[in-house]
């Protein structure tokens, strides 16, 4: 069973991934699904953690050649 700090790290990683998928998804259905998933992860984190996840997602999108918002 993961420790609380490991669980929090997994939640942050999953939030970052859901942001990337939401931005790069091919259709509206996938976008809405990723946004819904993102919101559920955000409920478990603090505001500063969410902000750092958004920043990391932007970096990933930029490295993929996508213009992040």
- For the stretch 31-68, pLDDT in tens is 999 999 999 999 999 999 999 999 999 999 999 998 77
pTM metric for this prediction: 0.88
pLDDT-derived band at 1 (thresholds 50, 70, 90) equals low
Please name the residue ranges forming H helices in the chain.
4-24, 28-42, 47-63
Total structural domains in the chain? 1
Domain range for residue 15?
8-19+37-69
Q: Is residue 65 part of a domain?
A: yes
Q: Is residue 1 part of a domain?
A: no
pLDDT at 2 over 80: no
Q: Is residue 2 part of a domain?
A: no
Q: Is residue 67 part of a domain?
A: yes
pLDDT per residue over 6-33, tens digit each?
A: 787 899 999 999 999 999 999 999 999 9
Q: Is residue 28 part of a domain?
A: no
Contact 38, 22 (CB under 8 A): yes
pLDDT of residue 52: 97
C-alpha 48/C-alpha 2 separation (Å) is 23
Q: Which of 68, 32, 3, 43 is nearest to 14 (CA)?
A: 43
């Amino acid at each position: 069973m993961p420790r609380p700090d490991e669980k929090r790290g997994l939640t942050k990683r999953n939030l970052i991934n859901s942001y990337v998928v939401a931005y790069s998804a091919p259709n509206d259905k996938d976008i809405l699904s990723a946004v819904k998933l993102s919101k559920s992860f955000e409920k478990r984190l603090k505001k500063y953690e969410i902000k750092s996840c958004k920043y990391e997602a932007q970096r990933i999108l930029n490295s993929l050649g996508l213009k992040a918002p």
